[in-house]
Every structure is written in structure tokens, then in C-alpha cells.
């Protein structure tokens, strides 16, 4: 079945959707994006996703002509038209079409697109089995806090990990893990969750935000600081989070089993309570 996608105000069959070859998103990756999880037909954490979008837009001096109500309506319409029960909504805003010139156009006409991607978020087998991670050097730019559509370094990282039989890459800079190619990285040592503090070096994960709140409510101690790859390999457990995975336990890093090599209790619990909350109170997890 063909999806219905959104382009600049119109809902169209995916085959009919098109964008100018002069779009600055295409030519310069001049745009920002968001990915929101959908469980039971409801979005998780929509408001924080829109807060982060607003921040990303501000950081690249792009004023969106779309207010939050319009964006919410677009997301909800995509869910309805595609009868999405579980999966993701991808959206991005670019600086739109203009003659190819590095300078920003004086009067940009931003492009907004959105589409759904069905996926098994709740009963994903990787949540039960845990996943393998491979480390790669972090070769990205210096503003990883901006959710830029320029994702070549992340695609290279993910592919390098896949070539080694791993599902995710953990990127390493100056000996410290920054984050996953498309996820936030965590380890657990002595019952404490360790994850890098927010800065320009990492994306402020919306799932991270929700999980740290839940961990606090559960009286789990949290240390926000960088950790090394060696520390991760010697941790009691490791896990990652994102809208597209929610929480996946990490059972192996570079071939080294983490803990006893099976999904750890902290990751399993956080996944369970995040999902429970999401299903009970959609949009407020
Ligand atoms: N870091 C990076 C580099 C990512 O691409 C993602 C997923 N977009 C995340 C972290 C996790 O963010 P979120 O929980 O908002 O999906």
C-alpha cells in the first residue's frame, strides 16, 4: 500500500510527492528534522520534540512559517491517513529552493515534509535479545546539538558497525564515547546510570529526557559525564535510547560481552516503565 506523505501543505500518495532539485536541503543539507515515535496510534513526547525543533531552527536562523498547531495537525493527519499504529513520523524543514549560493536567500520559502514509517516499536525482538555495538571514530561536525539533516557521518558510522555485525555504532572522540550514530549511549556501574551531559557534542535526546526523569522517580542515581570505551566495556550493563528504539540493551561492544552478556535489569526496567507510561498517558511520557 502506498503511503500518504505531506509536502508543503498537501497530503499526497508518496509516488506523487516531489521537491525541487534546487532545494537547499538537497544541495546543502540546509535543514533540520525530528522523528517522533507512535505507539497505539499516539505520539510520544510530541511537545519536547517540537521544543527541540524550534531550538534547531533558531540555531540555523531559519524562521518556520508553521506554528506548533499546524505541525501537530500534520502529524496527526499522517497517523490517521496511514492508519499508523506503531512506528515513526519523520519531518523536516529546509531553507527551501533557491539558486545555488552558500549565502542564505534573503526571503527563503521553507520546505516542510513529513512521512510515516511503520515499525515494531513495542515488541521489537532486539529489545529482548539486546544488541551488539561497534565503536567508530566520531568524525562529525562541532554542532551535534542541532538536529541537522546532514547525516552522512552517521550513515558511515552505522554502515561500519553493520559491516562488523553490530546494530549500532558508538562514536568515540578523545577516548570518550559521545553517542550512538542515531541514539543516546548509557552505561550502568554499581547501580548508577552514566550518560554524557548535554553540550554541543551530542544531540539532546528526547527519549533520554524521558528516561532520566523516570530513573529519578525510581531513585536510580544518574551521573551525567563522559565515559570511555574501556569503561563501557567493563560496565555492569549498557544500553541506548532513541525514538526509533525506545530502549535497547547493549550486550556486546567491539566483541566484548557487557556484564554477563545478556540484557541488564536497569535497561529492561526503564524500557518497561517508559512503555507503560507511554501507553497510559500518550504524549506526556
Ligand atoms: N543522538 C543522535 C545522534 C541521534 O540521531 C538520535 C536520534 N535522533 C538520538 C541521539 C536520540 O534522540 P531521540 O531520543 O530524540 O530520538
pLDDT tens digit sequence for 214-238: 999 999 999 999 999 999 999 999 9
| % of the chain with per-residue pLDDT over 90 | 96
Distance CA 273, CA 284 (A): 13
Q: What is the CATH number of the domain that holds 74?
A: 3.30.470.10
State if residue 95 touches ligand 1 by the CB under 6 angstroms criterion. Answer: no
| % of the chain with per-residue pLDDT over 70 | 98
State if residue 35 touches ligand 1 by the CB under 6 angstroms criterion. Answer: yes
Position 199 pLDDT exceeds 70: yes
Task: Classify residue 231 as exposed, middle or buried by CB count within 10 Å of its CB (0-12, 13-18, 19+).
Answer: middle
Q: Which of 67, 94, 118 is the last residue of a domain?
A: 118
Looking at the structure, do residues 21 and 94 belong to the same domain, yes or no? yes
For residues 282 and 104, the model is more confident at 104
* Measured CA distances, 6 to 12, 76, 106, 119 (Å): 6, 11, 26, 19
Q: Give tens-digit pLDDT for 102-150.
A: 999 999 999 999 999 999 999 999 999 999 999 999 999 999 999 999 9
**How many whole angstroms from 106 Cα to the centroid of ligand 1?**
31
**How many whole angstroms from 203 Cα to the centroid of ligand 1?**
6
Catalytic residue among 106, 126, 132, 147: 147
Q: By residue range, what is the domain housing residue 169? A: 125-284
Looking at the structure, do residues 84 and 149 belong to the same domain, yes or no? no
State if residue 243 touches ligand 1 by the CB under 6 angstroms criterion. Answer: yes
Contact (CB, 8 A) for 279 and 43: no
Q: What is the CATH number of the domain that holds 160?
A: 3.20.10.10
Give residue 65's pLDDT: 87
Looking at the structure, do residues 237 and 146 belong to the same domain, yes or no? yes
Looking at the structure, do residues 104 and 205 belong to the same domain, yes or no? no
Looking at the structure, do residues 245 and 132 belong to the same domain, yes or no? yes
Position 285 pLDDT exceeds 50: no
State if residue 160 touches ligand 1 by the CB under 6 angstroms criterion. Answer: no
Q: Which of 91, 118, 145 is the last residue of a domain?
A: 118
pTM for the model: 0.97
Count of CB atoms situated within 10 Å of the CB of 102: 8
| Pocket probe mutation, ligand 1, options 203, 214, 239, 285, max atoms within 8 Å of Cβ | 203
Q: How many domains does the chain have?
A: 2
- Local structure of residue 228 (DSSP, 8 states): B
| Pocket probe mutation, ligand 1, options 182, 208, 209, max atoms within 8 Å of Cβ | 182
Q: Which of 74, 96, 118 is the last residue of a domain?
A: 118
Residue whose CA is at the smallest distance from ligand 1 atom 9: 183
Name the residue among 269, 276, 278, 281 with its Cα closest to residue 218.
269
Name the residue among 258, 284, 282 with its Cα closest to residue 122.
282
Position 269 pLDDT exceeds 60: yes
Amino acid at each position: 500500500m502506498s503511503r500518504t506523505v505531506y509536502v508543503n501543505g498537501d497530503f499526497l500518495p508518496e509516488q506523487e510527492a516531489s521537491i525541487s532539485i534546487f532545494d537547499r536541503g538537497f544541495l546543502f543539507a540546509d535543514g533540520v528534522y525530528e522523528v517522533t515515535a507512535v505507539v497505539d496510534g499516539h505520539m510520544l513526547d510530541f511537545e519536547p520534540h517540537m521544543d527541540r525543533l524550534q531550538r534547531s531552527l533558531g540555531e540555523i536562523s531559519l524562521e518556520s512559517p508553521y506554528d506548533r498547531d499546524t505541525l501537530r495537525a500534520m502529524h496527526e493527519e499522517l497517523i490517521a491517513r496511514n492508519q499508523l499504529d506503531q512506528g515513526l513520523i519523520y519531518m523536516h524543514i529546509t531553507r527551501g529552493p533557491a539558486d545555488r549560493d552558500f549565502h542564505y536567500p534573503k526571503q527563503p520559502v521553507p520546505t516542510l515534509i513529513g512521512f510515516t514509517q511503520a515499525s515494531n516499536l513495542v515488541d521489537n525482538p532486539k529489545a529482548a535479545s539486546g544488541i551488539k555495538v561497534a565503536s567508530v571514530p566520531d568524525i562529525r561536525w562541532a554542532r551535534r546539538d542541532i538536529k541537522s539533516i546532514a547525516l552522512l557521518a552517521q550513515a558511515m558510522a552505522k554502515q561500519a558497525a553493520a559491516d562488523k555485525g553490530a546494530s549500532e555504532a558508538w562514536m568515540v572522540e578523545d577516548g570518550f564515547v559521545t553517542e550512538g550514530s542515531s541514539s543516546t549511549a548509557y552505561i550502568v556501574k554499581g547501580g548508577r546510570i552514566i550518560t554524557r551531559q548535554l553540550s554541543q557534542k551530542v544531540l539532546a535526546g528526547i527519549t533520554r529526557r524521558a528516561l532520566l526523569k523516570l530513573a529519578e522517580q525510581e531513585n536510580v542515581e544518574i551521573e551525567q559525564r563522559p565515559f570511555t570505551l574501556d569503561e563501557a566495556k567493563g560496565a555492569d550493563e549498557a544500553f541506548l535510547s532513541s525514538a526509533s528504539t525506545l530502549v535497547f540493551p547493549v550486550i556486546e561492544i567491539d566483541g566484548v560481552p557487557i556484564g554477563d552478556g545478556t540484557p541488564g535489569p536497569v535497561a529492561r526496567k526503564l524500557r518497561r516503565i517508559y512503555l507503560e507510561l507511554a501507553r497510559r498517558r500518550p504524549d506526556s511520557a
